[in-house]
Amino acid sequence: MNGQDISLYTQINGRYDFTFIGNTMNSAENNPSPVLVTGTSSTATLNLNPSDTVIKAFLYWAGSGDGDFDVDLNGIPIYPDRTFSHTNVFPNLTLNYFSAFKDITSYIQTTGNGDYTLSNLDISPFELDHFQRKTNFAGWAILVVYENSSLPLNQINVYDGLQGVPDNLSIDLTNLYVIDNNNATAGFIAWEGDASLPTETFAINGTIISNASNPINNVFNGTNSITGATDLYNVDLDIYEIEDYIQIGNTSANITLSSFQDFIMINTVVTKLNSQLPDATITIDDYQLTCNNRNIPVNYTVYNVNSTEILAANTPIAFYADGILVGSTQTQNPIPIGGNEIGNIVITIPNTTPSNFTLTAVVDDQGNGTGIVTELVETNNDYNTTISLFESPDFNTLSPIITCNLGLSRGVFDFSNYEELVKTDVSHQVSFHETYEDAINFLNPILNTTHYEALTTPKEIFIRIENENNCISVTSFLLQVENCPPIVYNAVSPNNDSFNDTFFIEGLRDIFIHFKLEIYNRWGKLLWTGDRNKPDWNGYVEDGIGTKIAPDGTYYYILYLNDPSYPEPLNGYLYLSQ
């Protein structure tokens, strides 16, 4: 056999008690019946006192077969929140069973007392197979937890799953804390017990128990011990007094069920214990991050909601970043049942902690994992949130941009592609600035990045990179010029028409400031020597005899740039035409 182990589903604390209503779909007990007995509809009545207030209501339905998970409650379609299954293997026959759960609290709170009919629970496709082993059944139950101001402060624990016998079944009920065992009870929703098979015993903490509706050797016998009904064929809704079988201080209880013949499935176990204890929980409500700052203000709230006692002042609180203690404080005032207290703290994240980390707040923690307060639940004191620190964006290092010297170290530059090259994330925003202060303060951005003129070089350009958290980084690159080869225009017509009146060499003056230019005639005679202090040659012959104007013809030049990048002179010809 296999199924789902019974385990804690929820815990509710307050002036609460619980009850069951429900019914079987079987018209008779399946074991002695020679015919099929399972129908599809039945009714039960809820009759709480006027002073009772419904806090929780859970519907369970179950039956033989693979499952019917589309049922109606008072004509309203119901679909399960959770389902359970169980399999029983016999020689040459494997039988499945199912159970389903639905939280119907709001519906019961609205509808209140009266008749409840569950319908359209149909196991007929599987009933013949189960009839062979007399395990054909269907039924339903509603667990109702209610509040009444006259009740003591109780802890209601709801455990569920789907486990069966024969032969022996042991269930450990955890998360208990027994302050006072007076009026302690345990209730069960169980399926498929047979009154005609007195073959099972039920024990809590080793002591066999029974009540008026449930004999000591036949505790699962188709009864409802709340109403005294004995015709819930193959369905059991029973509550037992257990105050004599648990001790003050117990944190768990063991239930054992043994049966040497009767097949029984336990679906739900409910306990009621008098436990006057606080239940401290905490949430991180908000935190403030600033760029490149590992000091984080944190707002938090400590709650004492699901409790039965005041939470004392000075309850310790610890904060951890990836498990490392980064801050501690304590509650300032007693927190009443159902109350809370808002607090704040500034925590400091160590430099060794990565920028993405888990921040954990733990109430009732002295900073070493131990607390000072005994609580109803000791496993719900922490709250986790993931934090990503705000940090300046990363960026790529940019190389200098070099262009031709236009004179006196002036240059025109295109650095428009650096907007993308500097980014490590396409979402980053980039701007260019002439000073570091402008970049920091986002002032005077350079708008023309395709044709930027630097009057003097080298010049440093600053880049501001901003990410989605408004954190910035500032980097820079250099604008530099180099002396490019000059361009010689070798046609000269000195006729004062403003076109080619002199021998013009582009990219020479104010760039190669130590240049020397020599003009020769075809026979190799030096006619003219010039530098940056003389105007361009217009055909004038410095040592001419008779005339100072050179005749039309071809002449030759030698240009000494006197620049380390151009150690050899440039030479060529020019044509002079008057």
pLDDT tens per residue, range 377-395: 888 999 999 999 999 999 9
User: For the ranges 101-115, 155-169, 353-367, which has the lowest average pLDDT?
Assistant: 155-169
Q: 522 and 509 in one domain?
A: yes
For residue 50, the model assigns a pLDDT of 96
Q: Which band of pLDDT confidence, cut at 50, 70 and 90, is reported for residue 251? A: confident
- Span of 159-168, 197-206, 319-328, 407-416 with lowest mean pLDDT: 197-206
* Percentage of the chain exceeding pLDDT 70: 96
Q: What is the pLDDT of residue 547?
A: 66
pLDDT one-digit tens code per residue, 263-279: 889 999 998 888 778 99
pLDDT higher than threshold 70 for residue 114: yes
Residues in the chain: 578
Domain assignment present for 568: yes
pLDDT at residue 203 is higher than 90: no
What is the per-residue pLDDT across 504-548, written as a single tens digit (0 to 9) for each? Answer: 999 898 899 999 999 999 999 999 999 999 999 999 887 766 568
Using DSSP, how many helices (H) and how many strands (E) does the chain show? 4, 38
Q: Are residues 377 and 467 in the same domain?
A: no
Sequential DSSP letters for 161-186: EEEEESSEEEEEE-S---SEEEEEEE
410 shares its domain with 378: no
> CA 279 from chain center: how many Å?
26
Output DSSP code: residue 440: H
| pLDDT greater than 70 at residue 181 | no
pTM, whole model, 2 decimals?
0.59
- Per-residue DSSP letters for 347-398? EE--TTS-SEEEEEEEES--SSS--S---S-SS--EEEEEEE---PPPB---
Which tokens is 392 given? 């300046």
Contact between 495 and 578 (Cβ < 8 Å) = yes
The residue with tokens 């209730």 is 187
Same domain, 171 and 51: yes
Is residue 126 a part of any domain in this protein?
yes
> pLDDT-derived band of residue 180, with 50, 70 and 90 as boundaries?
low
Q: How far apart are CA 531 and CA 528, in angstroms?
A: 10
Where does the pLDDT of residue 188 fall: very low under 50, low under 70, confident under 90, or very high at 90 and above? very high
375 and 468 share one domain: no
Percent share of the chain, pLDDT over 90: 70
- Is the Cβ–Cβ distance between 287 and 298 less than 8 Å? yes
* Residue with more model confidence, 372 or 307: 372
Range of lowest pLDDT (92-101, 156-165, 330-339): 156-165
Helix (H) or strand (E) holding 439, with range, is: helix 436-441
- C-alpha triplet 167, 66, 139: angle, nearest 5°: 70
Question: Mean pLDDT across the stretch 188-212?
Answer: 82
The span from the CA of 160 to the CA of 10, in Å, is: 9
The reported pLDDT for the residue numbered 246 is 74
Q: Tokens standing for 158?
A: 């709801």
Report the CATH number that the domain containing residue 564 is assigned in CATH. Answer: 2.60.40
Q: Which helix (H) or strand (E) holds 282?
A: strand 281-287
Q: Do both 125 and 214 map to the same domain?
A: yes
Q: For residue 247, is pLDDT > 80?
A: no
Please check whether residue 529 is in contact with residue 517, taking contact to mean a CB–CB distance below 8 angstroms: yes
Beta carbons of 563 and 512 less than 8 angstroms apart: yes
Same domain (yes/no): 47, 137: yes
The pLDDT of residue 178? 62
Whole-number pLDDT of residue 461: 98
What is the reported pLDDT for 205? Answer: 83
For residue 563, the cross-strand partners are 566
For residue 552, give both structure tokens: 């039309």
What's CA 154's distance to the chain center, in Å? 35
Q: How many CA atoms lie within 13 A of 137 on its CB side?
A: 30
Residues 268 and 285 in one domain: no
Hey, CA dihedral for 267, 145, 274, 174, is it positive or negative?
positive
Looking at the fold, whether 431 and 520 belong to one and the same domain comes out as: no
In this predicted model, which residue has the larger pLDDT, 199 or 72?
72
Q: Is residue 329 part of a domain?
A: yes
Question: What are the Cα distances from residue 59, in Å, to 122, 141, 338?
Answer: 17, 6, 27
Residue 108 in domain = yes
Give the model confidence (pLDDT) of 115-148 as tens digits.
999 999 999 999 999 999 889 999 999 999 999 9
What is the reported pLDDT for 172?
75
Residue 396 inside a domain? The answer is no
**CB-based contact 503:536 (threshold 8 Å):** yes
Report whether 427 contacts 420 (CB < 8 A).
no
pLDDT at 154 over 60: yes
**Shared-domain flag, residues 230 and 108:** yes
Q: Which residues pair with 16 in a beta bridge?
A: 147
Residue 328 CA to residue 349 CA, distance in Å, equals: 13
Q: How confident is the model at residue 176 (pLDDT cuts 50, 70, 90)?
A: low
- How many angstroms separate the CA atoms of 157 and 269, rounded? 8
Dist CA 365 CA 155 (whole Å)? 23
Q: pLDDT: is 50 or 306 the higher one?
A: 50
pLDDT in tens, 443-488: 999 999 999 999 999 999 999 999 999 999 999 999 999 999 999 9
Q: Is residue 395 part of a domain?
A: no
pLDDT of residue 206 exceeding 90:
no
Say which residues have a Cβ less than 8 Å from residue 141's Cβ, sequence separation at least 6: 20, 21, 22, 59, 60, 61, 189, 235, 237, 268
Domain end, chosen from 255, 274, 293, is at 274
Tell me the two tokens of residue 50: 């006027």
Residue that terminates a domain, selected from 363, 388, 413:
388
Last residue of a domain, one of 388, 417, 438: 388
Mean pLDDT of the region 179-194: 82
Quick one: average pLDDT of 233-262?
81
Same-domain pairing of 119 and 260: yes
Q: Does 198 have pLDDT greater than 80?
A: no
Residue 393 domain-assigned (yes or no): no
Residue 576, classified by CB atoms within 10 Å of its CB into exposed (0-12), middle (13-18) or buried (19+), is buried
At 412-438, the pLDDT tens digits run: 999 999 999 999 999 999 999 999 999
| Least confidently predicted of 209-213, 229-233, 558-562 | 209-213
Are 249 and 327 contained in the same domain?
Answer: no
Model pLDDT for residues 10-37, shown as the tens digit of each residue: 988 888 999 999 999 999 988 888 899 9
- The CATH number covering residue 329 comes to 2.60.40.10
Cα–Cα distance for residue pair 111/113, rounded to 1 Å? 7
The domain tally of the chain equals 4
In angstroms, the CA 105 to CA 73 distance is 13
- What domain range includes position 287? 281-388
| pLDDT at position 94 over 70 | yes
Residue 153: name the closest of 280, 269, 273, 235 by CA.
273
